[in-house]
Amino acid sequence: MKPRTIDKTNLPGPDFGHTPPGLISRSMQPFIRNNSAIRAMFEEGLRMQQEFGAENVFDFSLGNPNVPAPGAVEEAILRLVKDSDPVVLHGYMPNAGFPEVRRTLAEDLNRRFGTGFSEDNMIMTVGAACGLNILLKTILDPEDEVIVFTPYFMEYRAYVQNYGGLLREVPTLPETFLPDLEALRESLSSKTKAVIINTPNNPTGVVYGRKTLQQLSEVLLEAEERFGREILLISDEPYRELSYDGCEVPFVTEFYHNAVVCYSFSKSLSLPGERIGYLLIPDTVTGWKELFNGAVIANRISGFVNAPSLMQKAVAEVIGTDLTETVGYYDRNRRFLYEELSKLGFSCVYPEGAFYLWMKAPEPEADFVARCKKHCILVVPGSSFRGEGYVRIAYCVSHEKLQASIRAWKQIAEELFG
Amino acid sequence: MKPRTIDKTNLPGPDFGHTPPGLISRSMQPFIRNNSAIRAMFEEGLRMQQEFGAENVFDFSLGNPNVPAPGAVEEAILRLVKDSDPVVLHGYMPNAGFPEVRRTLAEDLNRRFGTGFSEDNMIMTVGAACGLNILLKTILDPEDEVIVFTPYFMEYRAYVQNYGGLLREVPTLPETFLPDLEALRESLSSKTKAVIINTPNNPTGVVYGRKTLQQLSEVLLEAEERFGREILLISDEPYRELSYDGCEVPFVTEFYHNAVVCYSFSKSLSLPGERIGYLLIPDTVTGWKELFNGAVIANRISGFVNAPSLMQKAVAEVIGTDLTETVGYYDRNRRFLYEELSKLGFSCVYPEGAFYLWMKAPEPEADFVARCKKHCILVVPGSSFRGEGYVRIAYCVSHEKLQASIRAWKQIAEELFG
């Protein structure tokens, strides 16, 4: 093919006599406007690094694992590429994923949680965000309500709106940040199609224990009877493997018949860029086969088609890998940061899981975020999670970075507490 | 965590006094019903393999490349895994993809097509299906129309409906299967937001040449002026690299200002399971920065987040790899099948690209598909592409399989033509 130089200025374009209506849909316009703010924040961070040097900027705003993927992942990828037929390794498989991969992951859950899942309960997904989306697409009619507990990962709002659903926020209890079940009971209605929980929690680091899940289940069961309608409990669990002090993360399907799980290997195996996870639909869920088929079809027609094939096989190969080192790294960061900041007079929720510290802002939230920034510390304002009056500090950074930041935290504490 | 055995039959569930409304949304119910037919066909194929032996069943129904990924892909993956920092290799990057990957791919296009793209025009996507979906999400308001030319890949219908849009079918010309531009002119309206083309074409194998694209552009420009509205031309090009006899596949952005390209490496690099491609938005597109930002946001909130990270880097590493072997394999199959079937009296469109043969059914389509099946040949009925009276034969199979099938084709020809 002969290369040609195109003068773009001469490319034909219509001569509108007036300002033409743009290409952007009405529903996307607010997202694009809002995005400028995020971009401005990001560019401000870059500017700070240029002005003060990267080593003097403490960016605790991102949930991007700093611990490298376990060596077993690298070994598995090398082995798979060397030993597999590339037509199979990189080829199409059933849209739900390779059956043997799904079986391996189901059996691992059965071993760990005494469950009875098979490959027929598992759909491999392009991360947990894909799992949530294909599930919501399968269940939501316009105006259906989905309940979340504040504070929460705000992308849930977009996911629900993608399918015409309405997000309904229910508070958590002060101090514990566990669901306010009385408020939940009052918010459930004949319009409620699903409730999303996220445990271990982003942004609070709280883990929902057995008692919480049991009580939550009772409220949902009562509502199902009251309204004569199925209510799906969706557990978003990218942080399942990250819990500390031996804190149990109970498996939600034990407590409620209509519970499904969205999982991601992003955090446990430090593979956030690879987009690999699964959606688990137990056969206790009413009409589970239809829901399973629906989610597989939604996976296809939404454009995911299937989870990346090499990574499907890689996570199955390393399942059961010892995560002590990964969890240990975050644990050391967690204890260090919690203790240091508490000593300085800051008030934080003691994190049982995930890799976030949820800190009470000692002054109006926006002022506090600005003050932190003045000291080259970047944190996410609580209002970004509908958790006003707090900030989220992501401690998935190098321990040295955390240590180096203490001087800045001290200065902030002195300014505030004298 | 202590494993426990759960008796699912005792798991609490509500006792509805009546049949409860299920969990499936109204919009997904027809898809689930329809899916049973596809499943039945698939199971019939399996049954045939069991009854007659896999070697005696000729499955030409799937567009799954049989040529393995070029060795360079394997080498690139091994090199990347061995030499890269895993935190970067498997980590988050900007949602549009690694900037250096996008730059490499843009420069490759510039070299080959004399274009002037940069990383700011490229969004790495989870395959072309993702590119189409995030684009349609960004532009479609409910009731907006999207035009396609029959026959077409039917998933387009679902993609458009995902965002409340309406698909409008416009015929191609008899024999050539090139767009009927007069019919297009009549179908364009103030509701038209986009036109999708697919060249080289699935299912016909036709390539749109310079004259076709030039005339198509003129019709669209005239409509933009007539309706005072931007009309996006979306070129879906997973088969771009697969063209034969030196047939040129002109680059669509040269002909029309509002043209964007959805590309996938699924076919050219035989990586369909890996879900890796890109969306190209030239800066000649009206409001291209907004459209770019919108598509990146849609990529995030639809749950794709970003294209798989290792595969992004791998395709950039192998860009420019010699595809002679891959294309040559399909070309041999193409010529062999076209010649053999023509000799037997079948009437086929001579394919200029892709890896499909579009054959006229010599009797009512359903009867012909059934007759083929009786002879253990599986083809896709044309009506699955809204191309009634034809069948699609995918020749991305081993050459030996193709050769072995001729005996069965001969028997079919004898039955039909005596």
Q: Do A114 and B4 touch (CB under 8 A)?
A: yes
**How confident is residue A42, by pLDDT bands cut at 50, 70 and 90?**
confident
Give the start-end residues of each E strand in B5-119: 58-59
Q: Is the pLDDT of residue A276 over 50?
A: yes
User: Shortest CB distance from B16 goes to which of A90, A130, A228?
Assistant: A228
**How confident is residue A21, by pLDDT bands cut at 50, 70 and 90?**
low
Q: Is the pLDDT of residue A96 over 90?
A: yes
Residue-level length of chain A: 418
Mean pLDDT, chain A, whole residue set: 93
Mean pLDDT of A305-321: 97
ipTM: 0.93
> Dihedrals φ, ψ of B149, to 5°?
-105, 130
Residue B251 DSSP SS3: coil
User: Shortest CB distance from B126 goes to which of A133, A141, A304?
Assistant: A304
**Residue B163: predicted pLDDT:** 97
Output the six-digit token pair for A170.
Answer: 């229910």
Q: Is the pLDDT of residue A20 over 50?
A: no
For chain B, domains (ranges, CATH) are 30-68+323-417 (3.90.1150.10), 71-318 (3.40.640.10)
Output the six-digit token pair for B40.
Answer: 């039945």
What percentage of chain A has pLDDT greater than the value 70? Answer: 94
Which residue is it, tokens 């310079």? B210
**Residue B13: predicted pLDDT:** 44
pLDDT digit string (tens) for A350-360? 999 999 999 99
Is residue A31 within 8 Å of residue B294, measured between CB atoms? Answer: yes
**How confident is residue A33, by pLDDT bands cut at 50, 70 and 90?**
confident
Q: Do B303 and A304 touch (CB under 8 A)?
A: yes
> Dihedrals φ, ψ of B417, to 5°?
-105, -5
- Tell me the chain B residues in contact with residue A221 when contact means C-beta distances shorter than 8 Å: 12-14
| pTM, entire model | 0.94
Distance from CA of B344 to the nearest CA of A (A): 32
Q: What are the CA-CA distances from residue B312 to residues A103, B113, B274, B301, B350 (Å)?
A: 28, 22, 10, 20, 35
Rounded Cα distance, B273 and A85, in Å: 13
Q: Do A23 and B285 touch (CB under 8 A)?
A: yes
Task: Indicate the helix (H) or strand (E) that contains B137.
Answer: helix B127-139
CA of A74: which chain B residue's CA is closest? B81
**Residue B45: predicted pLDDT:** 78
Is residue A332 within 8 Å of residue A225, measured between CB atoms? Answer: no
pLDDT digit string (tens) for A120-150? 999 999 999 999 999 999 999 999 999 999 9
Which residues, in sequence order, are CB contacts of B117 under 8 Å at separation 6+? B106, B109, B110, B280, B282
Q: Do A297 and B27 touch (CB under 8 A)?
A: no
What percentage of chain A has pLDDT greater than the value 90? Answer: 88
Which residues, in sequence order, are CB contacts of A328 under 8 Å at separation 6+? none
pLDDT digit string (tens) for A246-255? 999 999 999 9
- Better-scored residue on pLDDT, A279 or A8: A279
Task: Identify the DSSP state of B243.
Answer: B
- Tell me the chain A residues in contact with residue B115 when contact means C-beta distances shorter than 8 Å: 6
User: Shortest CB distance from A275 goes to which of B14, B162, B308?
Assistant: B308
Query: Which strands form B145-149's sheet, in the order they lie side by side?
Result: B122-125, B277-280, B259-264, B232-236, B192-198, B145-149, B166-170
| Burial group, residue B143, by CB count within 10 angstroms (0-12, 13-18, 19+) | exposed
Rounded Cα distance, B37 and B44, in Å: 10
What dihedral angle (degrees, nearest 10) is formed by the CA atoms of B48, B53, B57, B62? 80
**Residue B2: predicted pLDDT:** 38
Residue type at A97?
G
Q: Is the pLDDT of residue A279 over 90?
A: yes
Packing angle, helices B71-83 and A71-83, rounded to 10: 160
> Dihedrals φ, ψ of B6, to 5°?
-110, 125
Rounded Cα distance, B54 and B63, in Å: 18
pLDDT digit string (tens) for A217-233? 999 999 999 999 999 99
Which residues, in sequence order, are CB contacts of B181 under 8 Å at separation 6+? B215, B216, B219
- Tell me the chain A residues in contact with residue B93 when contact means C-beta distances shorter than 8 Å: 273
- Tell me the chain A residues in contact with residue B276 when contact means C-beta distances shorter than 8 Å: 308
Q: Do B290 and A32 touch (CB under 8 A)?
A: yes
**Residue B36: predicted pLDDT:** 66
pLDDT digit string (tens) for A358-400? 999 999 999 999 999 999 999 999 999 999 999 999 999 999 9
| Complete DSSP assignment for B321-378 | ---HHHHHHHHHHHHHHHHHHHHTT--EE--SBTTEEEEE-SS-HHHHHHHHHHTTEE
Neighbours of B337 (CB within 10 A): 25
CA of B74: which chain A residue's CA is closest? A81
The closest alpha carbon to A303, from B11, B72, B128, B393, belongs to B128
**How confident is residue A37, by pLDDT bands cut at 50, 70 and 90?**
low
User: Shortest CB distance from A224 goes to which of B14, B297, B308?
Assistant: B14
- Tell me the chain A residues in contact with residue B271 when contact means C-beta distances shorter than 8 Å: 90
Neighbours of B403 (CB within 10 A): 13
Is residue B176 within 8 Å of residue B350, measured between CB atoms? Answer: no
pLDDT digit string (tens) for B359-402? 999 999 999 999 999 999 999 999 999 999 999 999 999 999 99
Burial annotation B73-101 (CB, 10 A radius, 16+ → b, else e): bbebbeebbeeeebbebbbbbebbbbeeb
**Residue B143: predicted pLDDT:** 93
pLDDT by residue for chain B (418 residues), tens digit each? 333 334 444 444 444 343 445 899 999 998 888 876 666 777 777 889 889 998 899 999 988 899 999 999 999 999 999 999 999 999 999 999 999 999 999 999 999 999 999 999 999 999 999 999 999 999 999 999 999 999 999 999 999 999 999 999 999 999 999 999 999 999 999 999 999 999 999 999 999 999 999 999 999 999 999 999 999 999 999 999 999 999 999 999 999 999 999 999 999 999 999 999 999 999 999 999 999 999 999 999 999 999 999 999 999 999 999 999 999 999 999 999 999 999 999 999 999 999 999 999 999 999 999 999 999 999 999 999 999 999 999 999 999 999 999 999 999 999 999 8
User: Shortest CB distance from A23 goes to which of B65, B130, B139?
Assistant: B139
User: Shortest CB distance from A311 goes to which of B138, B270, B308?
Assistant: B308
pLDDT digit string (tens) for A141-188? 999 999 999 999 999 999 999 999 999 999 999 999 999 999 999 999
Rounded Cα distance, A402 and A311, in Å: 32
Q: Do B301 and A69 touch (CB under 8 A)?
A: no
**Residue B141: predicted pLDDT:** 95
**Residue A1: predicted pLDDT:** 35
Rounded Cα distance, A369 and A376, in Å: 10
Task: Indicate the helix (H) or strand (E) that contains A212.
Answer: helix A210-227
Q: Do A155 and B301 touch (CB under 8 A)?
A: yes
